Amino acid sequence: MRRQFKVDAEFAHSARSIHRWPCRDRHTAVVVPATGDSHRMSEPFIGTEALASGVVNRYRLNRYHRAILPNIYVDKRTAVSLRQRTVAAWLWSGRDAVIAGAAASALHGAKWVADDVPIELISAKTKPPERVITRQDRIIDGEVARIDGLPVTSVERTAFDLGRRGLIGASVARLDALARATGVKADDVLALAANHRHSRGLRQLERALALFDPGGQSPKETWLRLMLIDAGFPRPQTQIPVLGPDGYPRYFLDMGWEELMLAVEYEGAQHADQLGYDITRTDYLECVGWTHVRVAAGHRRPTIIARVEREWDRLWRPELGITPRRPAFAGPPLELGC
C-alpha cells in the first residue's frame, strides 16, 4: 500500500505575521520595562536577573508577571506570541542555544507557523520544559545567522532540519513556506547535507526537496498538490500566469497543467467583498479556455481525484507533449483536515 502524503494538524492554524523584535545579547540582564508602567515588563525576561538588577522586587515579580518557562517571566496581561515564546526559550537556554526548526523558519519570514508550535533549540541543555525541544545536533561554520541579535539556523540549515523530520507532507509544506519567503534552493540544501552524511532523515529530506515548491501559497495548496502527485498525475505547475488582453498577467492560478489549460485551485473562506472578484475571474478563465476545478473544505480525496481525472481524460492528448497520468495507487483516503 502506498504511503499517503499527510500534512499535520499544526498547519490548520491561520497565517500569522512574524515581526522583528529587539533582542539583547548574552551580557544584557533584562529587557527594558514597557514605558508608562514601570513595574510591568511585556517582553520575556529572566526572573533572577530582574531581581538582582533591582528592576523588580519579589512582590512585583509575582504580582504583575507570570512564568511561561522556568525562571522566564512576562507581564500577566500578555497573550504570548510565537516570537515571545522563542525569546523565552532562548533565555531559558542561558542564551547559549541556536534557534532551529519551525521557529527559525518564522524568523526567516515563513508564514503558517502556529503560535503554539514547539520551539526547537540546538543546545547542550537537557530536560527542556513543555513545548521546548532541545537537540544536540552538530552545527558547523556558516550554518548560523543573526536575526535581530538572535542566533538562528541559516536558511539552508533550517530547510535541512525541516525536510528530514516529521511527516513528509508537513515537511514539504514547511519547505514551501520557507522557500516562498527566502528563495532557498534544493541544491543549496543538498550541498549543506553533504556535510552531515550521518544525520537521520536524509532519505526523507531528498524526497521532500524533490517535492517542495515555492509557488505553494498555503498548507492547503501543498496538501492538494501532493494529493494530485500521489494520485498519479504529473507534477502540476504552480502560480500559472493567465494573460490579459494587454499581454500582461491578469490572474495567477494555484496549480495545474498549462498544456491542457486545466487548473486546480483550493478555495479558502470567501468574504463577501471577494465574491464579485471571483465571479469576474472565473468568467475570464472560462472565456480564454481554461477548465477550472475548484476544491473547498469538506471535499474528500476520492471526489477531488474523480473530478480532476474526468477533466484530465477529456483534455489530455499525446500530441500535447505532457506526461500521461500513471496508474493511481490504492490506499486510504487522505482527509482534508491538515
205-218 pLDDT tens trace = 999 999 999 999 99
What is the spatial distance between Cα 104 and Cα 94, in angstroms, rounded to a whole number? 18
What is the spatial distance between Cα 138 and Cα 12, in angstroms, rounded to a whole number? 32
Q: How confident is the model at residue 17 (pLDDT cuts 50, 70, 90)?
A: very low
Determine the residue type at 45: F
Residue 136: predicted pLDDT: 96
Mean pLDDT within 147-160? 97
Residue 89: predicted pLDDT: 98
Mean pLDDT within 133-154? 96
Return the CATH number of the domain spanning residue range 219-320. 3.40.960
What is the spatial distance between Cα 202 and Cα 118, in angstroms, rounded to a whole number? 22
Q: What digits encode the pLDDT tens for the residues 184-208?
A: 999 999 999 999 999 999 999 999 9
Neighbouring CB atoms inside 10 A of 1's CB total 7
User: What is the full DSSP assignment across 170-231?
Assistant: HHHHHHHHHHHHH---HHHHHHHHTT-TT-TTHHHHHHHHHH--TT--SHHHHHHHHHHHHT
Helix (H, G, I), strand (E, B) or coil at 236: coil
169 pLDDT above the threshold of 70: yes
Domain with CATH 3.40.960 in the chain: 219-320
- Comparing 94-103, 127-136, 186-195, 296-305, the range with the smallest average pLDDT is 296-305
Q: How confident is the model at residue 22 (pLDDT cuts 50, 70, 90)?
A: very low
19 pLDDT above the threshold of 60: no
Q: How confident is the model at residue 273 (pLDDT cuts 50, 70, 90)?
A: confident
Mean pLDDT within 8-12? 39
Residue 3: predicted pLDDT: 46
Average pLDDT of every residue of the chain: 87
271 pLDDT above the threshold of 80: no
Mean pLDDT within 271-289? 89
Residue 199: predicted pLDDT: 96
Residue 274: predicted pLDDT: 82
332 pLDDT above the threshold of 90: no
What is the spatial distance between Cα 61 and Cα 292, in angstroms, rounded to a whole number? 59
Residue 269: predicted pLDDT: 72
Q: Is the dihedral of CA 28, 33, 34, 36 positive or negative?
A: negative
What pTM does this model have? 0.85
What is the spatial distance between Cα 122 and Cα 137, in angstroms, rounded to a whole number? 6
34 pLDDT above the threshold of 80: no
